Amino acid sequence: MRPLNPYGTWTLFLRETRRFLKVHMQTIVAPALTALLYVLIFRYAMGARSVPGLDVDYLTFLIPGLVMMSMLQNAFANTSSSIIVGKVMNVHIYLLMAPLSAMEIILALVASAVVRAFIVAVAILAALWVFVDIPLSSVSLIMLYGLCGSMLMGGLGIIAGIWAEKFDDIALINNFVIMPLTFLSGVFYSVAQLPPFWQQINRYNPFFYLIDGFRHGFVGVGDTDPHASIGLVAGATTICILACWQLWRTGWRMKP
Amino acid sequence: MNDSALQVQGLRKVYANGKTALDGVDLQVSKGAFHALLGPNGAGKSTLINILADIVRPTSGLAKMFGRDVFHERAWCKRHLGVVPQEVAFDPFFSPVEVLRITSGLFGRKPDDAWINELLDRLGLAEHAHKNTRQLSGGMRRRLLVAQALVHRPSLVVLDEPTAGVDVELRRSLWAFMRELNRSGTTILLTTHYLEEAEQLCDHVTIIDGGRVVADQSMRELMEVVAGRYLYLGYGDDFELSEADARALSAFRPRVMSGGICLRLGGQGSEGHGFHQVYEAAVSRLGIPRKVEIRQEDLEDVFIRLTGRARHERSRA
């Protein structure tokens, strides 16, 4: 039996959470503001148009997508930046030296990423609620998709952080992988509006299911059946967390 | 009864780039010892320490801490080990107090504020306790690393060059603190470039070079038996040793030092060369010196001689 260190895991979770709270202007206020700006821009650009094929007001359609996109990006940013800052400042050695198992470390890092994602989501929704009427179709779908999405992205952030050697590497992944995938996953439009070829491509994009399922929780309609996709999304999340665990255990790119 | 705090056997590390950092190191640190681990730069000291700390993966070999297998009972061993890393590490988000509370927690211990305050105080960080670590000087950051290594009250403390960049006064107070810890039962393994300090502090010394152990003795034994005497002959500041003279005197291992030459005499066990033999050989080559002294080798001299010799032997093999 491997001796457990719940207090250490809890401490790591708190450290990660306090870290992003200390720089909340960067980690919460800025992403919330960005999302609000998108809403503002599209409000004036699109007017009161509705989304073709879905019979939903465009703004009502857009907001859940933006919230989920912010959640995904912030969950990724939280774990990836924590690990790369650790490597650059050499403090990652305290994670390696501490009597924590790989799973305990992964869980603490991912849990903190989830907390950040939800704080950002609440910040955006709270600011918008004043101006826009946001429907709530299924809270459990929102929670489930929000949780899976931020866990998956927290996990991918860990993998990126383990792989990266400098801050630029993270920026590279962010700009060339995370941004295109989230932007093209139906945040701003219904995937039904895409040409058939791109619709086909999107079937293999996990972010598409995450955003669509999350939006379903608000507006009650979407491109997919959110209950059928839960297994897929949860499976992807589990695989990602297991991959993190395995990478950390082997010491790849962390321990020479 | 096993009374060793640390036992390393045949430890090898070959890095991915093919460099052999440790080439079968054996090391035994007794419980309660103040043990010096010395070696020139690149000898493998930090690799050895980092393997114990789980920062570097070993290629092969065994390590036991208080009788437990370091590689199989990691969590237990980690709780009982405190390492001061050679490279400065600091968390730019937190203050020293926060860093210490976090480190304590990561090691599974609820922060003990009385102990944390004592650490800050003893390491001269009390007035900086609530500043951001970014505002600390290099020396302060290094002392914070010492506090971090001690915050979970480990039974074995490993200090990898803890005093680089720390001024003399604080160095002294740090050593006084380490002595106290050692007296109260903590085993200490120390690497340092300040050999004088190692000689004063440590009761046992292991010297490694090129990834191998070249000396492993109690400090007293090393200084009494291995440390020899040498003859210093002063010729003035412009003194130079020609190659022919160096060859002729090579039996006495000549070394040019501050306007003169050092030639090795026998150890206290009186084996080796006597004073007259060495003196006459030198005078016949170099002439009458202005100054003649017989000096006892200190740890630094022994260190240079041993690591120099080890290098020589390996290149011949």
Average pLDDT rounded to a whole number, residues B126-133: 91
Residue B266 has a pLDDT of 65
Measured between beta carbons, the chain A residues lying within 8 angstroms of B79 are: 99
Has residue B179 been placed in a domain?
yes
Chain B residue closest in CA terms to A5: B108
Has residue B314 been placed in a domain?
no
Q: Which residue has the tokens 């305990």?
A: A104
Shared domain for B109 and B132, answered yes or no, is yes
B12: Cβ contacts below 8 Å, ≥ 6 apart: B20, B22, B23, B24, B25, B58, B59, B60, B61, B211
| Share in percent of chain A as helix, strand, coil (round to 5) | 75, 0, 20
Chain B residue closest in CA terms to A19: B93
What phi and psi, each to the nearest 5 degrees, are found at residue A152?
-60, -45
Percent of all residues in chain A with a pLDDT value above 90, rounded to a whole number: 57
Q: Cβ(B114)–Cβ(B101) under 8 Å?
A: no
- B133-183 pLDDT, tens digit per residue, is 889 888 889 899 999 999 999 999 999 988 877 788 888 888 999 999 999
Shared domain for B212 and B85, answered yes or no, is yes
Residue B283 has a pLDDT of 87
Has residue B316 been placed in a domain?
no
- Which of B54, B91, B94 faces A97 most closely, judged by CB atoms? B54
Question: Which residue of A4, A9, A11, A247 is the best one to mutate when testing the B interface, meaning the one whose CB has the most B CBs within 10 A?
Answer: A11
Torsion of CA A224, A225, A227, A229, to 10 degrees: -40
Q: Which residue has the tokens 């609000």?
A: A36
Shared domain for B184 and B251, answered yes or no, is no
Average pLDDT rounded to a whole number, residues A151-171: 94
- Point out the domain boundary residue: B223, B242, B264: B223
- A102-141 pLDDT, tens digit per residue, is 999 999 999 999 999 999 999 999 988 888 888 888 999 9
Measured between beta carbons, the chain B residues lying within 8 angstroms of A83 are: none
> CA quadruple B251, B252, B254, B255: dihedral positive or negative?
positive
Residue A113: what residue type?
A
Q: Which residue, among A190, A206, A236, A156, has the nearest Cα to A64 in the 3D structure?
A: A190
Shared domain for B100 and B167, answered yes or no, is yes
* pLDDT exceeds cutoff 50 at B317: no
Interface predicted TM-score (ipTM): 0.88
Measured between beta carbons, the chain B residues lying within 8 angstroms of A103 are: none
Chain A residue closest in CA terms to B17: A256
Please tell me if residue A102 touches chain B, with a CB cutoff of 8 Å: no
* pLDDT exceeds cutoff 90 at B97: yes
Residue B91 has a pLDDT of 87
Alpha-carbon gap, residue A188 to B315, rounded angstroms: 69
**3-state SS, residue A81:** helix
Shared domain for B145 and B264, answered yes or no, is no
Shared domain for B215 and B150, answered yes or no, is yes
Shared domain for B263 and B192, answered yes or no, is no
Measured between beta carbons, the chain B residues lying within 8 angstroms of A94 are: 89, 103, 106, 148
Has residue B212 been placed in a domain?
yes
- Point out the domain boundary residue: B206, B223, B240: B223
Average pLDDT rounded to a whole number, residues A149-171: 94
- Which of B81, B87, B106 faces A94 most closely, judged by CB atoms? B106
Q: Which residue, among A73, A67, A28, A69, has the nearest Cα to A171 in the 3D structure?
A: A73
Shared domain for B95 and B186, answered yes or no, is yes
Has residue B76 been placed in a domain?
yes
* pLDDT exceeds cutoff 60 at B312: no
Residue A2 has a pLDDT of 58
Q: Cβ(A27)–Cβ(A77) under 8 Å?
A: yes
Alpha-carbon gap, residue A32 to A118, rounded angstroms: 11
- Supply the Cα-derived Rg of chain B in whole angstroms: 23
B261 CA to chain A: closest CA distance, Å? 44
Q: Do A90 and B79 touch (CB under 8 A)?
A: no
Residue B56 has a pLDDT of 94
CATH code for the domain in which residue B210 is found:
3.40.50.300
Shared domain for B233 and B218, answered yes or no, is no
Q: Which residue, among A19, A171, A177, has the nearest Cα to A86 in the 3D structure?
A: A19
Residue B23 has a pLDDT of 92
Cα dist from B150 to B79, B100, B186, whole Å: 11, 9, 10
Residue B271 has a pLDDT of 55
Alpha-carbon gap, residue A210 to A152, rounded angstroms: 10
Per the structure block, which two tokens stand in for B130?
Answer: 């609530």
Average pLDDT rounded to a whole number, residues A214-219: 92
Please tell me if residue A5 touches chain B, with a CB cutoff of 8 Å: yes
Has residue B188 been placed in a domain?
yes
Q: Cβ(A70)–Cβ(A120) under 8 Å?
A: yes
Residue A43 has a pLDDT of 81
- B70-86 pLDDT, tens digit per residue, is 999 999 999 999 999 98
B75 CA to chain A: closest CA distance, Å? 4
**3-state SS, residue A104:** helix
* pLDDT exceeds cutoff 50 at B313: no
Measured between beta carbons, the chain B residues lying within 8 angstroms of A91 are: 89-91
B43 CA to chain A: closest CA distance, Å? 17
Q: Cβ(A42)–Cβ(A59) under 8 Å?
A: yes
Q: Where are the alpha helices (DSSP H) in chain B?
A: 45-52, 74-79, 96-106, 113-122, 138-150, 168-183, 195-201, 219-221, 243-248, 275-286, 299-316
Alpha-carbon gap, residue B14 to B21, rounded angstroms: 6
Residue A53 has a pLDDT of 67
Domain that holds residue B233: 228-296
- Point out the domain boundary residue: B223, B244, B260: B223
Taken as a whole, chain B contains a residue count of 317
Q: Which residue has the tokens 């070993």?
A: B58
A169 CA to chain B: closest CA distance, Å? 20
Question: Which residue of B95, B106, B158 is the best one to mutate when testing the A interface, meaning the one whose CB has the most A CBs within 10 A?
Answer: B106
B249 CA to chain A: closest CA distance, Å? 46
Please list, residue by residue across A133-155, b when 16 or more beta carbons sit within 10 angstroms of its beta carbon and e when fewer do: eeeebbeebbebbbbbbbbbbbb
CATH code for the domain in which residue B258 is found:
3.30.70
Q: How many CB pairs under 8 A join A and B?
A: 82
Q: What is the DSSP letter of B40?
A: -
pLDDT band with cut points at 50, 70 and 90 for residue A146:
very high
Has residue B307 been placed in a domain?
no
Chain B residue closest in CA terms to A251: B57
Alpha-carbon gap, residue A110 to A106, rounded angstroms: 6
Per the structure block, which two tokens stand in for A216?
Answer: 């379903």
- Which of A5, A23, A97 faces B53 most closely, judged by CB atoms? A97
Choose the weakest-confidence range: A134-138, B96-100, B218-222: B218-222
- B237-271 pLDDT, tens digit per residue, is 888 888 888 888 888 888 887 788 888 876 544 45
Question: Which residue of B46, B102, B160 is the best one to mutate when testing the A interface, meaning the one whose CB has the most A CBs within 10 A?
Answer: B102
Has residue B315 been placed in a domain?
no
- Count Cα atoms within 13 angstroms, Cβ side, for A214: 30
pLDDT band with cut points at 50, 70 and 90 for residue B311:
very low
Q: Do A255 and B57 touch (CB under 8 A)?
A: yes
pLDDT band with cut points at 50, 70 and 90 for residue B314:
very low
Query: For the purposes of burial, counting CB atoms within 10 Å of the CB of A120, is it exposed (0-12), middle (13-18) or buried (19 or more)?
Result: buried
- A70-108 pLDDT, tens digit per residue, is 999 999 999 999 999 999 999 999 999 999 999 999 999
Average pLDDT rounded to a whole number, residues B275-282: 84
Residue B281 has a pLDDT of 86
Cα dist from A137 to A149, A213, A220, B293, whole Å: 19, 11, 5, 95
- B173-210 pLDDT, tens digit per residue, is 889 999 999 999 999 999 987 787 888 889 999 988 88
- A9-61 pLDDT, tens digit per residue, is 999 999 999 999 999 998 999 999 998 898 888 888 877 677 766 777 888 88
Count structural domains, chain B.
Answer: 2
Please list, residue by residue across A222-256, b when 16 or more beta carbons sit within 10 angstroms of its beta carbon and e when fewer do: bbbebeebbeebbebbeebbeebbebbeebeebbe
Measured between beta carbons, the chain B residues lying within 8 angstroms of A2 are: 75
Chain A residue closest in CA terms to B108: A8
Shared domain for B153 and B253, answered yes or no, is no
Shared domain for B207 and B267, answered yes or no, is no
Shared domain for B55 and B192, answered yes or no, is yes
